[in-house]
Amino acid sequence: MKIVGIDLAGNPKNETGFCILEVNGENKTVRTSILHSNSEIIHKLNEISPEIIAIDAPLTFSGINRHCDEKLREYGALPVTLRGMEVLARRGSELAKELRKPEFKLIEVFSTASAKILGFYDSKEVEMQKKLMNSGLLGDLQKRFLTRDELDAVFAAITGYLYLNSSTESVGDKDGTIIIPKV
Protein backbone atom coordinates (compact mmCIF):
# COMPACT_ATOMS: atom_id res chain seq x y z
CA MET A 1 0.00 0.00 0.00
CA LYS A 2 1.29 3.47 -0.92
CA ILE A 3 0.12 6.68 0.68
CA VAL A 4 1.35 10.12 -0.35
CA GLY A 5 1.63 13.10 1.96
CA ILE A 6 2.17 16.56 0.51
CA ASP A 7 3.09 19.74 2.38
CA LEU A 8 2.11 22.17 -0.37
CA ALA A 9 3.87 25.53 -0.69
CA GLY A 10 1.75 28.52 -1.66
CA ASN A 11 4.24 29.58 -4.30
CA PRO A 12 5.56 26.93 -6.72
CA LYS A 13 9.01 28.56 -6.44
CA ASN A 14 9.09 27.47 -2.79
CA GLU A 15 9.68 23.93 -1.57
CA THR A 16 6.78 21.49 -1.40
CA GLY A 17 7.46 18.50 0.84
CA PHE A 18 6.52 15.15 -0.71
CA CYS A 19 6.40 11.82 1.13
CA ILE A 20 5.63 8.30 -0.01
CA LEU A 21 4.64 6.05 2.90
CA GLU A 22 4.87 2.44 1.81
CA VAL A 23 3.25 -0.17 4.05
CA ASN A 24 4.23 -3.83 3.67
CA GLY A 25 2.85 -5.83 6.58
CA GLU A 26 4.42 -4.40 9.74
CA ASN A 27 7.08 -2.43 7.83
CA LYS A 28 6.37 1.23 7.17
CA THR A 29 8.93 3.05 5.03
CA VAL A 30 9.01 6.73 4.11
CA ARG A 31 10.74 8.29 1.13
CA THR A 32 10.73 12.06 0.95
CA SER A 33 11.67 14.66 -1.61
CA ILE A 34 11.16 18.29 -2.49
CA LEU A 35 9.02 19.25 -5.48
CA HIS A 36 7.93 22.62 -6.85
CA SER A 37 5.43 22.84 -9.71
CA ASN A 38 1.98 21.31 -9.90
CA SER A 39 3.04 19.41 -13.02
CA GLU A 40 5.98 17.89 -11.10
CA ILE A 41 3.59 16.81 -8.32
CA ILE A 42 1.05 15.36 -10.75
CA HIS A 43 3.73 13.51 -12.72
CA LYS A 44 5.10 11.92 -9.52
CA LEU A 45 1.60 10.93 -8.37
CA ASN A 46 0.86 9.29 -11.72
CA GLU A 47 4.05 7.23 -11.36
CA ILE A 48 3.11 6.10 -7.83
CA SER A 49 -0.69 5.59 -8.06
CA PRO A 50 -1.23 5.94 -4.31
CA GLU A 51 -4.29 4.67 -2.47
CA ILE A 52 -4.76 8.15 -1.04
CA ILE A 53 -3.16 11.59 -1.17
CA ALA A 54 -3.15 13.64 2.05
CA ILE A 55 -2.45 17.31 1.37
CA ASP A 56 -1.45 19.83 4.03
CA ALA A 57 -3.10 22.86 2.42
CA PRO A 58 -6.63 24.17 2.05
CA LEU A 59 -8.28 22.31 -0.83
CA THR A 60 -11.27 24.64 -0.96
CA PHE A 61 -11.42 28.41 -1.18
CA SER A 62 -14.46 30.65 -1.45
CA GLY A 63 -13.00 33.91 -0.10
CA ILE A 64 -14.36 33.44 3.42
CA ASN A 65 -12.97 31.86 6.57
CA ARG A 66 -13.79 28.19 6.96
CA HIS A 67 -15.28 26.58 10.06
CA CYS A 68 -12.62 23.84 10.03
CA ASP A 69 -9.80 26.39 10.35
CA GLU A 70 -11.54 28.05 13.30
CA LYS A 71 -12.03 24.67 15.00
CA LEU A 72 -8.33 23.82 14.61
CA ARG A 73 -7.03 27.24 15.67
CA GLU A 74 -5.82 25.70 18.97
CA TYR A 75 -3.36 23.65 16.88
CA GLY A 76 -2.16 26.70 14.94
CA ALA A 77 -4.51 26.74 11.95
CA LEU A 78 -4.72 30.12 10.26
CA PRO A 79 -7.73 31.68 8.51
CA VAL A 80 -7.68 31.23 4.72
CA THR A 81 -8.35 34.95 4.34
CA LEU A 82 -4.83 35.91 5.49
CA ARG A 83 -2.80 36.90 2.41
CA GLY A 84 -0.27 34.03 2.58
CA MET A 85 -2.97 31.50 3.36
CA GLU A 86 -5.16 32.82 0.55
CA VAL A 87 -2.31 32.21 -1.92
CA LEU A 88 -1.92 28.67 -0.53
CA ALA A 89 -5.69 28.05 -0.60
CA ARG A 90 -5.93 29.17 -4.22
CA ARG A 91 -3.08 26.85 -5.22
CA GLY A 92 -4.48 23.98 -3.13
CA SER A 93 -7.92 24.39 -4.72
CA GLU A 94 -6.47 24.40 -8.23
CA LEU A 95 -4.27 21.36 -7.55
CA ALA A 96 -7.22 19.49 -6.03
CA LYS A 97 -9.29 20.14 -9.18
CA GLU A 98 -6.45 18.78 -11.33
CA LEU A 99 -6.00 15.69 -9.15
CA ARG A 100 -9.70 14.85 -9.10
CA LYS A 101 -9.74 14.59 -12.91
CA PRO A 102 -7.83 11.28 -12.91
CA GLU A 103 -9.91 10.42 -9.83
CA PHE A 104 -7.21 10.40 -7.20
CA LYS A 105 -8.59 10.08 -3.69
CA LEU A 106 -7.70 13.25 -1.75
CA ILE A 107 -8.05 14.43 1.80
CA GLU A 108 -7.09 17.74 3.37
CA VAL A 109 -4.96 17.41 6.49
CA PHE A 110 -3.18 19.75 8.91
CA SER A 111 0.24 18.25 9.66
CA THR A 112 0.92 20.36 12.75
CA ALA A 113 -2.34 19.23 14.33
CA SER A 114 -1.54 15.61 13.46
CA ALA A 115 1.96 15.88 14.98
CA LYS A 116 0.55 17.44 18.16
CA ILE A 117 -2.34 14.98 18.51
CA LEU A 118 -0.02 12.00 17.99
CA GLY A 119 2.55 13.35 20.49
CA PHE A 120 5.37 13.88 17.97
CA TYR A 121 5.38 17.67 17.80
CA ASP A 122 8.48 19.59 18.82
CA SER A 123 9.61 23.07 17.78
CA LYS A 124 12.95 21.49 16.79
CA GLU A 125 12.76 19.44 13.59
CA VAL A 126 15.56 17.10 14.67
CA GLU A 127 13.60 16.15 17.82
CA MET A 128 10.47 15.39 15.78
CA GLN A 129 12.54 13.27 13.43
CA LYS A 130 14.00 11.34 16.38
CA LYS A 131 10.50 10.66 17.68
CA LEU A 132 9.43 9.40 14.25
CA MET A 133 12.49 7.14 14.08
CA ASN A 134 11.69 5.76 17.53
CA SER A 135 8.15 4.97 16.35
CA GLY A 136 9.53 2.32 14.00
CA LEU A 137 9.23 4.18 10.70
CA LEU A 138 11.99 3.23 8.28
CA GLY A 139 13.54 4.93 5.26
CA ASP A 140 14.82 8.44 4.77
CA LEU A 141 14.40 9.24 8.46
CA GLN A 142 17.48 7.10 9.18
CA LYS A 143 19.51 8.38 6.21
CA ARG A 144 19.53 12.18 6.53
CA PHE A 145 18.02 15.17 8.28
CA LEU A 146 14.66 16.00 6.74
CA THR A 147 13.52 19.56 6.11
CA ARG A 148 10.47 20.95 7.90
CA ASP A 149 8.51 20.60 4.64
CA GLU A 150 9.49 16.93 4.34
CA LEU A 151 8.57 16.26 7.99
CA ASP A 152 5.17 17.89 7.45
CA ALA A 153 4.71 15.67 4.38
CA VAL A 154 5.51 12.62 6.57
CA PHE A 155 2.81 13.66 9.06
CA ALA A 156 0.38 14.20 6.17
CA ALA A 157 1.13 10.66 4.93
CA ILE A 158 0.70 9.23 8.44
CA THR A 159 -2.69 10.96 8.64
CA GLY A 160 -3.60 9.41 5.27
CA TYR A 161 -2.62 5.98 6.61
CA LEU A 162 -4.75 6.52 9.73
CA TYR A 163 -7.64 7.66 7.53
CA LEU A 164 -7.50 4.42 5.54
CA ASN A 165 -7.60 2.54 8.86
CA SER A 166 -10.63 4.47 10.20
CA SER A 167 -8.55 6.16 12.92
CA THR A 168 -9.35 9.77 12.03
CA GLU A 169 -12.12 12.26 12.39
CA SER A 170 -13.35 15.02 10.10
CA VAL A 171 -13.51 18.64 11.26
CA GLY A 172 -15.52 21.15 9.26
CA ASP A 173 -18.59 21.53 7.11
CA LYS A 174 -19.66 22.02 3.48
CA ASP A 175 -17.07 24.82 3.03
CA GLY A 176 -14.17 22.49 3.84
CA THR A 177 -13.11 19.62 6.04
CA ILE A 178 -9.78 18.72 7.57
CA ILE A 179 -8.94 15.16 8.58
CA ILE A 180 -7.13 14.72 11.91
CA PRO A 181 -6.16 11.66 13.97
CA LYS A 182 -8.72 10.51 16.54
CA VAL A 183 -7.71 11.29 20.10
Write the CATH number for 102: 3.30.420.10
The percentage of the chain sitting over the pLDDT mark of 70, rounded to a whole number, equals: 100
pLDDT band at 101 (very low <50, low <70, confident <90, very high): confident
Number of domains in the chain: 1
User: Is the per-residue pLDDT at 95 higher than 90?
Assistant: yes
User: Is the per-residue pLDDT at 97 higher than 80?
Assistant: yes
**Mean local confidence (pLDDT), 134-160:** 97
pLDDT band at 146 (very low <50, low <70, confident <90, very high): very high
**Mean local confidence (pLDDT), 131-146:** 95
CB 163 within 8 A of CB 179: yes
User: Is the per-residue pLDDT at 83 higher than 90?
Assistant: no
**Closest alpha carbon to 165 in 1, 34, 46:** 1
pLDDT at 58: 96
Domain that holds residue 36: 2-181
User: Is the per-residue pLDDT at 102 higher than 80?
Assistant: no
**Mean local confidence (pLDDT), 8-34:** 97
pLDDT band at 81 (very low <50, low <70, confident <90, very high): confident
CB 19 within 8 A of CB 154: yes
User: Is the per-residue pLDDT at 79 higher than 90?
Assistant: no
**Closest alpha carbon to 152 in 77, 54, 73, 39:** 54
pLDDT at 183: 75
8-state DSSP, 66: -
Which residues, in sequence order, are CB contacts of 74 under 8 Å at separation 6+? none
pLDDT at 64: 87
**Mean local confidence (pLDDT), 100-108:** 89
